[in-house]
Chain A
């Protein structure tokens, strides 16, 4: 079975903290994505990566960075967490038009 695993289901962090969200896939996919999901706004693309050490900005990259040191792992970094980054974060990987998603990380910044 295909698997995309996000390291945490729920996280609570303080404003100003550096936050790491980890995502691992076991399908040897080249393409990986980070989205945030907010009510009424659907899934918005933050960053994606099409190869190791390659990254491209999505629609809302401000306040975020990413790291792809190994093919199976794609990390999302909040350099200095703010309350407006409270959201559900979804990681995905794909090789064709079908993307596989993790279960999501609900991040609350207080």
Chain B
């Protein structure tokens, strides 16, 4: 069965606001959690990852938070821009199984 999933299939935010995209997982054996962005007509593109022994990781305008207690992962996008409109997937990687498993995705729409 699915070991990662997303809370909401769609999310709309105003340009300039912060976006928070959430993801729940069930498998505690994951080594990494990863966020991907998929723009229309393209394959998914890596945004940021976080090791399972970390709580927070920051990139350029993005922050990923990992709460292992409640098995919850979030992606925060600061000052959301029109170019951020895309489908966002969380994924988990388990080295022992060599698998990369994806959730169902959240469509982020940035409103002008």
A contact residues vs B (CB 8 Å cutoff): 4, 31, 33, 35, 40-45, 48, 50, 56, 58-59, 90, 92, 94, 97-104
Which residues on A sit within 8 Å (CB–CB) of B45? 101
Nearest-Cβ distance from residue A4 to partner chain B, whole angstroms: 8
Q: Apart from A43-B89, A102-B43, A104-B42, what 7 extra A-B contacts exist at CB < 8 Å?
A: A4-B43, A42-B103, A42-B104, A50-B98, A94-B100, A97-B49, A99-B34
B34 contacts A98, C-beta separation under 8 Å:
yes
- A contact face: mostly helix, strand, loop, or mixed: strand
A45 lies within 8 A of B101 (CB): yes
Residues in B lying within 8 Å of A, measured CB to CB? 6, 9, 31-32, 34, 36, 41-46, 49, 89, 93, 98-105
Decide: A43 and B98 in contact? CB cutoff 8 A. no
Contact B99 A42 (CB under 8 A): no
Instruction: Please give the distance in Å from A58's CB to the nearest CB on chain B.
Output: 7
Closest 5 CB pairs of A and B: A101-B43, A42-B104, A43-B102, A97-B32, A98-B46
Contacts A100-B46, A101-B45 given: A92-B100 contact, CB under 8 Å? Answer: yes
User: CB distance B44 to A101 under 8 Å?
Assistant: yes
Q: What residues on B are CB-neighbors of A31 within 8 Å?
A: 98
Closest B residue to A44 by CB, please name it.
Answer: B102
A97 closest partner in B (C-beta): B32
B101 touches A48 (CB 8 A): no
Residues on B with beta carbons closer than 8 Å to the beta carbon of A58:
99
